[in-house]
Amino acid sequence: MHLNCHHLTVHYKNRKALSAFNLQLNKGEICTLIGPNGSGKSTALQTIAGLIKPDTGHVDLNTISLHSLPRRILARRLAFLPQNPAAPDEMKVAQLVRQGRFSHVGLWQAYQQKDEDAVQWALQSTGLAGFGERFLNELSGGERQRAWIAAAIAQEAEVLLLDEPTSFLDIGYQAEVLDLVYKLSRERGTTIIMSIHDINQAMAICDRITLLKAGQQIFNGTPYRLAQSRLIEETFRIKGKFVSIRADAPPHFDVDWLNHSLKM
């Protein structure tokens, strides 16, 4: 499986929200999108998902244009979890997760055992095995976020797009979500593109990292190549440096809090 985003450009009125975005990923690779607020991360994800029609460019999966596929067929190939998804408070967790199977089941067909197995696997994988009959309005912010992640992975798509999946989660659940993302890529071969604010989380989990600023893709490569540049300091206007914690670990960005200055 090969995903190719070629020259994606998006305008909002007179503003260019995304400019000539390019990305190539193989089966099971993880790409993280980082950048300041308003840099184009969400626009890139929504364009790849087919929710925004680009002014130029295309997205191909194994040479097939994703934007040319009917929505139901596209949903079998690609799953997208936005930043602030919405569902009725009176909906139960299991009902929400079962919606992730809709593209496989259809409107009038009955759920089969494989569909229920996928739902239970998604609940188990996100730590919600005992939450299926609870209502969404009974959940904490972190629990609700995990329920949405469960719905996305129950879809069992080849490509998974996640927009800030660790938002609202405490550090323990952030680690669990990132571990789940890594296992999906390595054990199930799911190709994953996600935006994330934490630079070190991005560096730790990804095969490829893309740095965006004001809609421009100013870096696209491995975490190690990014660490060799000064683009993080320049883009985020922050003082710090990449350090190696262990020989077998990715570089860690260490912020110089005591001497931090926004005027670099």
Task: State the pLDDT confidence band at 264, using cuts at 50, 70 and 90.
Answer: very low
Confidence (pLDDT) at 130 = 92
Whether 217 has a pLDDT exceeding 90, the answer reads yes
Confidence (pLDDT) at 8 = 97
| CA nearest neighbour of 114 among 66, 122, 234, 170 | 122
Can you list the domains of the chain with their CATH numbers?
Answer: 2-255 (3.40.50.300)
Question: Per-residue pLDDT averaged across 145-162, rounded?
Answer: 92
Confidence (pLDDT) at 260 = 56
d(CA 103, CA 152): 12
Report the predicted TM-score, pTM, of the whole model to 2 decimal places.
0.90
The residues with which 216 forms a beta bridge, in sequence order, are 19, 213
